[in-house]
Amino acid sequence: MRQFLTLIAIAFLFFSCDKEDGPWQLASPDGQVRVEVNREAPGAGPLSYSVYLREGEAWKMVLEPSPLGIEREDAAFTDSLQFLSDEVRKNQEEAYTLRSGGRKEHRHVFNEITLAFENQDKKAVHLVFRIYNNGVAFRYRFPEESGEAVRVVKEHTAFHLGEGNFWGHPYDTVTKWNPAYETFFAGPLPIGAEAPRNKNGWAFPLLFETNGSWVFISESGFDGAYPGSHLHGNCEGGLYTLKFAEAEEAMGYYDNAPHSTLPWKTPWRFIIVGKSPGDIAAAHLATALAAPSRLENVDWVRPGRSSWSWWSDSDSPQDYERLVPFIDFAADMGWEYSLVDANWNRMQNGALEQLAEYAAGKGVGLLAWYNSGGKHNVVEEAPRDLMDNREVRRREFERISRLGIKGIKVDFFQSDKQDVLRLYLDILADAADYNLVVNFHGCTLPRGWRRTYPNLLSMEAVRGGECYKFDASYPEKAPAHLAIVPFTRSVMGPTDYTPGGFSDNTYPHLTTYGFELALPIVLESGIIHYVDTPEKIQSLPPFAVELLKELPADWDDTRCLAGYPGRDAVFARRKGDKWYIGGINGEGEEKNITLGLSGIAPEGATIALITDGREGSLGMERRAVAEGRLEVKMQPYGGFVATVE
């Protein structure tokens, strides 16, 4: 009888409300997640929403009542909204295939409710909520089809968390180089901790541990009609409130407020909920909420590995003869690409045309670097002024595609303003017309765009391996930072950390060879740019070199086997029938961990395990799986890689 009543209650929560004053409630298809929209007072006051996670036969609140509301220059949609109608759609399903990523095949099921309101001037706004089995997404929609130009001046949207722990990174100050989502991730901090005073608040994504649950918050579904958002730095009481791009970004050009014509919709803001950090890492709402692919044929899109000369020799792109060894190295390793970085247009002893011909003879595709500016940045690195004008950009894409160039790296965007976000999409669309894959650097977060434009293989938006060249604090902060990234930044999409720095470059590593070897597994990227020299990588033990020759850049499936942000992270990724497991230790103490291998390695299967040896060496041993488990020791700031043979 109790089970019957529980099922009745769950069914009721698919949609329950007082039509006029709420609360309006909707549960996920599996009945485990619920959203509730409320008025502050009957017929008046602002709206708010809450998110609940089912625990046994009870519901626990994981997101406390959080403000809703949006203001345009011509109309406010905050107080005294009159309820007009509701529309509920149950068990909606979307399936899609990604060309690159941690999982190839995706299927998402959700319930959706659209609540229609109008303000006192009879202007309409719709609140659209989607409830997935692992989270909630919502957006505002202005349905009027007038073609009128309108501008949003403020969003009251916020996320209210209870007590607990918080992991995040600041939205950086505006400089010649920033913002670029390249601040350190930190935590655990107490929920409500104020952002550093010299920064512009907190950046997406946000990760929380509260009320025995895990909550991840970010945004997706951008089509060029809205800027990116971040959060105000003052989060007193755990209230994190949206803030648009800073006015000074992009050298002060472009409006930092959203502007478009009616009808119009905002991006999706989404909340992933789970019972462990692994639940967060395994979620894919960023791509679920993005627009479907706009490319009919993606057979030419090729994820892969790349050599990269710039990290070890920053002036090498200006010298043909210093680039050739990196092309030879990529060919020797069986890697798909070699990246020619900034200032290649000043190349001596040869030119890009010759280099492309040489690389083609070696079976290696070249990737060419570009500055995104334009007036929106003053970074001198070149070639520049080729990306911001469509006619010029397409002429350049046609030219390099004729040379056989396979892709581009576009750098230095430094803004989340709407016009700059539109530039990303324009570059992706034009690059696809010329069969060019794309990697963005000095950029915003991935926002599900790899689904919309499968030629997008990676994005930086992380404080990465290049910082060993510039930042004396990086070696000390990197281990914990990199053990947070898999549960925060990488949940949003491909993470071009640029791993494989086995050498010391200006500032010596604290991390071990095992840690560095595991990073391409722990941090997924559709192009893996290995940063070290041919000599250093080929001097590794033969089993490590062989691993780097075969390690894929795209995956059929991914599982988080263990981890806690800032402490450690262990991921298993499958390509075809083979599983690769990588783990990193973000702390300066030795650890013994036990991993469950159900569905990964059958009883008695052989595991090839690469771990840290003495004095910076690597060792390998083979073990038989016993009782479905693998026990691994990680050195301080160490790591390991295991393959299932």
> Is residue 254 a contact partner of residue 242, using CB atoms and an 8 Å limit?
no
* Average pLDDT of the residues in 622-644: 96
**Is the model's pLDDT at 13 over the cut of 60?**
no
Does this model's pTM top 0.75? My answer is yes
Q: Give the chain's largest Cα–Cα span.
A: 83
pLDDT band at residue 18 under the 50/70/90 scheme: low
Mean pLDDT across 294-313: 97
Whether residue 593 has pLDDT greater than 90: yes
Q: What is the C-alpha separation between 499 and 501, in angstroms, rounded?
A: 6
CA distances from 144 to 151, 261, 263, 389 (A): 14, 10, 5, 32
645 CB neighbour count, 10 Å cutoff:
11
Give the separation between CA 178 and CA 170, rounded to whole angstroms: 12
Looking at residue 615, its pLDDT comes to: 77
Whether residue 524 has pLDDT greater than 60? yes
Q: How confident is the model at residue 614 (pLDDT cuts 50, 70, 90)?
A: confident
pLDDT of the residue at 155:
98
Q: What is the pLDDT, as a whole number, of residue 367?
A: 98
Closest CA to 434 of 292, 526, 306, 300: 300
Mean of pLDDT values over 564-593: 98
Encoded tokens for 198: 């010299």
In this prediction, residue 5 carries a pLDDT of: 34
DSSP helix/strand/coil, 144: coil
User: Of 628, 634, 571, whose CA–CA distance to 604 is shortest?
Assistant: 628
What is the Cα gyration radius of the chain? Answer: 25
Give, in words, the CATH class of 304-550.
alpha beta
Give the lowest-confidence range in 15-19, 36-40, 229-233, 489-493: 15-19
Tokens matching residue 573:
């990724």
Q: SS in 3 state form for 366-412?
A: EEEEEECCCCCCCCCCCCCCCCCCHHHHHHHHHHHHHHCCCEEEEEC
Q: Rounded CA gap, 564 and 570, in Å?
A: 9
Q: What is the DSSP letter of 589?
A: S
Q: What is the pLDDT of residues 379-402, one digit of tens each?
A: 999 999 999 999 999 999 999 999
Element (H, E) at 560: strand 557-564
**Residue 6 pLDDT greater than 50, yes or no:** no
DSSP string, 509-524: -SS-HHHHHHHHHHS-
Tokens of 35: 């959203």
Helices and strands in the chain, H and E counts:
12, 36
Q: Chain-wide mean pLDDT for the chain? A: 95
Indicate the pairing of strand 164-170 with strand 186-190.
antiparallel
Q: Residues 497-521: what's their mean pLDDT?
A: 96
At residue 2 the predicted structure's pLDDT band, cuts being 50, 70 and 90, is very low
Q: Which two tokens stand for residue 123?
A: 């202007």
What average pLDDT score do residues 331-355 get?
98
Residue 45 has what pLDDT? 80
Supply 557's token pair.
């499936």
Q: What is the mean pLDDT of residues 185-192?
A: 98
pLDDT reported for residue 11: 43
The yes-or-no verdict on residue 47 having pLDDT over 80 is yes
Dump pLDDT digits (tens) for 60-70. Answer: 999 999 999 99
pLDDT at 44: 72
Smallest CA-to-CA distance from 301 within 309, 310, 293 is with 293
The answer to whether 206 touches 219, Cβ cutoff 8 Å, is no
Pick the CATH number of 2-288 from 2.70.98.10, 2.60.40.1840, 1.10.1060.10, 2.50.20.10: 2.70.98.10
Name, in order, each residue with C-beta under 8 angstroms of 603's C-beta and a sequence gap of 6 or more.
625, 626, 627, 628
179 within 8 A of 420, measured Cβ to Cβ: no
Coil, strand or helix at 416: coil
Q: Where are the domains of the chain?
A: 2-288, 304-550
CA distance 627 to 617: 30
**Exposure string for 585-596, b = 16+ CB within 10 A, e = fewer:** bbbeeeeebebe
The CA distance from 429 to 423, in Å, is 10
What are the structure tokens assigned to 89, written together? 């759609």
Q: Residue 118 — pLDDT band, cuts 50, 70, 90?
A: very high
pLDDT band at 631 (very low <50, low <70, confident <90, very high): very high
Quote the CA–CA distance of 34 and 359 in Å, as a whole number: 54
